Structure 1
């Protein structure tokens, strides 16, 4: 398409753009086979006679069966806005020179495939943009719910004598089921030692019961997922979580501490759950079953496979278990050299 002519691969249609009154774009629907563009025309001047002198129609309709109407309509509107015919010194000579230039063909082959891929990419981009707009509205609603929960929590504290303890506990359980909380943030406590100390106290509140349920030990990736799920929109970075756990370990009256296994795996554990008690419980399970793999121990104790393997390795390090590393995998047995002696 040039500034004054529209050209096609198998046929050539020459239309002076000065005759174009307006254009209309019609998207593809379930009843039509492709997008359409309708070009409304002014009456042709009497001294400009074409192959057919008169017609009962004052428009031209372009049908795009394989897509491309969006790009065509955009380029066509740009050509109309430039109004190149008004800047021409001689309409007939310039028109002849334009028609003698090379004809721009419809992209075929690799060029056509690239064009279709670009169109699909554009449509995908528009869909994703709309999805993120919906996500932004959802987050705004979630912030309103957090503000509402804080307001109600303040009222509960101010009316402690008027509301029964059972009602207070019930309301807090509803908030926890919704994942709504009042998390510790840097905007409230800064980014120093006080922030990590308060964050450590929050970790105790969130993780104390889950730690008791899973045997007193939890790997840091699982801690990260549980804490961020409980915090809602105020997500923690891995670095902040590690600093908070380290601050928690340094407190003398803290119920939790960090522990690093010999393999480098770091866990958060209850101070009451010592390594000796963990090794003893692991060895007892293996002795009762005759042998055990990491997956079997994980299923029995309700922990991750990585953490179960670390427990078995710790028991092996203290010589209460022996390993059998074969093609069937790594399996642990009671150390009969120690038992039978």
Structure 2
């Protein structure tokens, strides 16, 4: 997209599932689909049709799902916006929104201070079924907030200074012999305004006002806590990236140190998702975008679990990473069912026993079958057979998923079972190679 509009759209990266890769401290706020992007520079300039437009705290991201490409406009380059006009003509037509961008030498300027020419105007035509009002409102809010101008270094210095000052502060209230009378309860004075039924009603009113004040303070603290949590998640993600890049920069010979780094990476990975998809931000595209974000999230857990992950495990890991933005099991199943219609590297699979799992598309059942055959041909396995736990250790899967592979191999005639006092064990099926015609010779 950036090649068609050079100097206006900057290239934006997409994940394997087609989701935009967010910048540090960037949060996805709202999205809208079926948008046509135009330039007010003449009919020779091509337009983008049926694009997915995402507004974040830092950029306006345009995603072309057909070509799997994306371009972005920095919010600092936005000069002003013109929302759609409310008239009879707009009621029957598609709403149009105009965005003016600061320009310099025919390209978009990063800010107003560096602009030297007239502004470039981008027209967004909303051709979808959903109303663009929430998108336009959220765009105005993020432009007013100007989150891209926040200096993270200054924030760290201020937070560290506030913590140090709170710990080293000394109390000026001394306690000694002169303060012994402080424990004596004061004498209550009679207030005529609190007497009678009117006083009781007035007292209840004061208590309700006090409770309402406490609730407002509590919710304001909760909002502040959630904003801090997003910053901590972002910090943890940067630390994890540095730890992943460390082995390529220097070869470590200490096994304990590598094990410790791996544990730290696992802990940081489970901290959370920086910008989880919500119904408020995605609207009608909630399940589609949730499916893409889930496909990106399960990529690393699938690598650690042998290419297959139980749906229950995926639900717990994904919800823990989303923090307070929890999803229901129905939302998870609906998001996984969408994978069949979008281009993502994972898929949902249902075994004949009814167990539902998530597996990568590179997962090969023939390779698993060959590994099971090698396992059951071991001398110890030929005598005693193998259990689901043995297969789980060999395949790197959970025992429940390893059992499903054993049952599938049994259905193919590769294995046979012995359900005895020692539990369920599987053996190599040698009966399939016997020649029945020579059995009685």
Structure-2-length-normalised TM-score: 0.39
- Higher helix proportion: 1
Q: Computing the radius of gyration over CA atoms, which structure comes out larger, 1 or 2?
A: 1
